[in-house]
Amino acid sequence: MNDMAQIIGQADDEVLIRLVMDAFRRTLVHYGFWYAEVEHQLGMEKAFQVERKVWSASSANQMKRLGKVLGFAVEADGTPARLKKLSREELLELLKNLGVNWLANDGIWFQAVEFEHGMIDAKRCNDSCWTRYSPYEAERIKELLELPENGGIPALKKALAFRMYALINRQSIEDVDDRCIIFRMNECRVQLARQRKGLDDYPCKSVGLVEYPYFARTIDSRIKTECLGCPPDPHPDEWFCAWKFTLEE
């Protein structure tokens, strides 16, 4: 009987390099499957709580092991020490690139489904995905910024500024009063790219009607979301979509 480790050890370097990259991929997908199943079995709120503990332990372990092999220092909490040596400008540039990677990943998934199964299925998958991602992102921001539960409009304003979109798109907020704001997506990376290609706006209203209400309700369950305009709706040159958030009691 062959020793399985010996078989891997006999593979050439190219196979081993590809296996390293695939190991990252398998870990990422397995993590996602675990989260999806915990949500399915226990509900979204409990999945949030479990994932918070899992990430804290798992990411620290993974970074420490990778640091030993690849030769980079890791803080006690699992943060690569190099990050703390970056300037503010470098951190902001890194965050921008992470935002672009996030958006590109989203687009690649959409197009993969669209090309194989058509636009209807791609939009259906996309909209459903946002019912999970949008509240998850809101929960992550709440913890990151230590926002209070049901923090009202001030908490929502701050949270909107820390979304992944905020890293790469130009956005603005108009204060209507202390219980109401209007959020506008002034420059959208996706829509601007379509304009450069001479294409019509991507009709993203269906996903926006999921994304924004789920995000706002997670920040504060009392907040009502109203769409003021989103493609395929007509809109002025100054913005692509606009959303009104009102605190109701």
DSSP letter for each residue of 170-220: EEEEEEEETTEEEEEEEE-HHHHHHHHTTPPPP--HHHHHHHHHHHHHHH-
Look up the pTM and report it: 0.91
Please give the residue range of the domain that contains residue 210: 132-249
Cα dist from 153 to 83, 209, 227, 241, whole Å: 32, 19, 17, 19
CATH of residue 203's domain is: 3.30.1380
- Asked whether residue 8 is domain-assigned, the answer is yes
Place of tokens 């803080």: 75
CA distance 232 to 249: 32
- Each residue's pLDDT tens digit, 124-136: 999 999 999 999 9
Burial of 67 (0-12, 13-18, 19+ CB in 10 A): middle
Q: Does one domain contain both 159 and 66?
A: no
Confidence band (pLDDT; 50, 70, 90) for 3?
confident
- Asked whether residue 199 is domain-assigned, the answer is yes
Whole-number percent of the chain with pLDDT over 70 = 98
Q: Does one domain contain both 178 and 74?
A: no
- Asked whether residue 93 is domain-assigned, the answer is no
- Asked whether residue 180 is domain-assigned, the answer is yes
- Asked whether residue 95 is domain-assigned, the answer is no
Residues sharing a CB contact under 8 Å with residue 102, sequence separation 6 or more, in sequence order: 164
- Asked whether residue 91 is domain-assigned, the answer is no
For the cut 70, the answer to whether the pLDDT of residue 187 exceeds it is yes
Q: Does one domain contain both 146 and 228?
A: yes
- Each residue's pLDDT tens digit, 14-73: 998 999 999 999 999 999 999 999 999 999 999 999 999 999 999 999 999 999 999 999
- Asked whether residue 123 is domain-assigned, the answer is no
Instruction: Examine the fold and report which residue of 85, 113, 148 is the final residue of a domain before the chain moves on.
Output: 85
Q: Does one domain contain both 156 and 247?
A: yes
Q: Does one domain contain both 52 and 155?
A: no
> What does the DSSP assignment read for 33-59?
HHHHHHHHHH-HHHHHHHHHHHHHHHH
- Each residue's pLDDT tens digit, 197-225: 999 999 999 999 999 999 999 999 999 99
Q: What domain count does the chain have?
A: 2
- Asked whether residue 101 is domain-assigned, the answer is no
